Structure 1
Amino acid sequence: MSDKGAGNHSDVTDFTLVGFRVRPELHILLFLVFLLVYGMVLLGNISMMAIIVTDSQLNTPMYFFLSNLSFIDLSYSTVIALQAMVNFLSEKKTVSFVGCAAQLFFFAFFIVTEGFILAAMAYDRFMAICNPLLYSVHMSRRLCSQLVAGSYLCGWLSSILQVSITFSVSFCASRVIDHFYCDSYQIEKISCSNLSVNKMVSLSLAAFIILPTIVVIVVSYMYIVTTVLKIPSVEGRKKAFSTCSSHLGVVSLLYGTVSFVYLTPPSNPELCKVASVFYILVTPMLNPLIYSLRNKDVKQALGKVLWKKKSLD
């Protein structure tokens, strides 16, 4: 089939997002569920950022990374949730070519950046537990800023490559994306082009950008576990592990759901959509809860804020 017969990406003006294959009357229910969860994402992450900024006791590397994590969670949830909620209430359920490309760009940007931020947080915990005497010297404000800036840079480079390769293809007659957002895998499924280059670029991104973050996290925690097990007292081991449990919970939620969607055979597309909701909305909603409920410093800071508000009232 020629490009003329298949249609080129330059001829595409919009796509149709199928969303969830449910009865039309259930779209209102889906809208309300997304609205509720997204509202909790907003409340939790904005509150976390506000507490960290206003409390001087939280002016440490760990909370600097955590504030960036909250900003990223809020950002990529917003990029996906708003479009999804609009489509739930719309009959056409379309998104423009430019809008689709922008959504994929920002989603890829923030999700890859989050992986690097989580790796930086793992390295921070490694330094705090395995080299406590050098921690304050090594984890300087300058290094933390460089790690965060590098995370955003890697996310930006990755998203540029992802969007460029995804939308460089020719499309078939169908403009229907079987998802509730512009997912690169589903976009490639409606392409008539040879996707060997796309697959090579995706594997390269995974090998040179995604894989290193996983390696840093795994190696950091191998050293952390080895160090903690050498602590003689049970109370000391418990205290050391408690400083890492929140981060481990966040890492497990994100990488677990993303791996399920992208690394398992797509036998049930609807199940993959549900799993996508977990890392797009549920994980960003739970992250502030995980850190606030399992972190004494955050609970104390929140308590001070609530006490101050009560005193003013």
Structure 2
Amino acid sequence: MSKVKWGVLGTANVAAWGTIPGMIKAESCELYAIAGRSLEKAEKYKADFGFEKAYGSYDELLEDEEVQAIYIPLPNNLHKPWVIKALKAGKNVLCEKPIGLNADETSEMFKVAEESGVLLMEAYAYLHSPYVESLKKDVAGGVIGDVKYIETAFITQGYKEDIRLYKDLGGGAMYDLGCYCTTMILSLIDSDVSYVKADAEFSDKGVDLATAGLIRFENGTRASFNVGMILGEDTNARFDRLYIYGTKGSIRSDVEYNQEGEASYKVYVGDEVIERKISVPHNYSLEIEQFSRCIIQGEKPHITSDFSIKNAELIDSVLEEIGY
């Protein structure tokens, strides 16, 4: 199998515990180069994970003609400038979610990708999971009838000090967690948004620590989300929920986003309860494999530009509602 030479632009935590291990597992990935704000940090990642090259600046990585694809896990406020730089340097780009701070930024980046003749995809590793594909299949197949209401939640520990707590860095619960709920909802409902109502609790620094909202779609389906960084600071506590209610039954899942290993959800139809058991591989590896196939084989990105823009527009509506 052909391999894609990957570079990683930044040494964020999500790269270390999620995406880079996924790259190592992906057969189509050649772990080629890592760039940090300092050469020392980049060299540590090179030694820890087995990159071939390390760079002490992001620009040096973009100038390396061997690099075919770049993963960008930088703080949210830095996505747009570095995505555009990478695209204009002729690199295919996988950018961590949320790709833009608003729909205008998101649209602009995809326009630059098209003009540059390279690929751009937003990184939602969980959407590549066979678990999500099974959920979508049950919904689309009418197992629970017509979907009328979807309830989602993603609540995690609070943070004493983290980039999530700073508005100028693109922090806040909606950007960090809410985007999971909105993408899940949009993956399951094939209709346009007609109404959004939301409320939030803010920190002293001005970021939303918790946000809840109601979404109505043109086909009459409703959905809710509840997200927050509000559980104990000294724990790894989290709470995930996806309940889907239809005219014939319901689906209930409490599996974590990006769950790996054995996972299951239950389908309730009348008096019958069906448990779907699914073996879930490393979602980040699936994501890297899919984007690599897009480059090598011309496959369509699993997460399209239209989907990313639609999700950004929905998040814009929520942020406008809460005054963020």
TM norm structure 1: 0.27
Greater strand share, 1 or 2? 2
Q: Which has the higher contact order (CA 8 A, sep 6+)?
A: 1
TM norm structure 2: 0.26
Q: Which has the larger radius of gyration?
A: 1
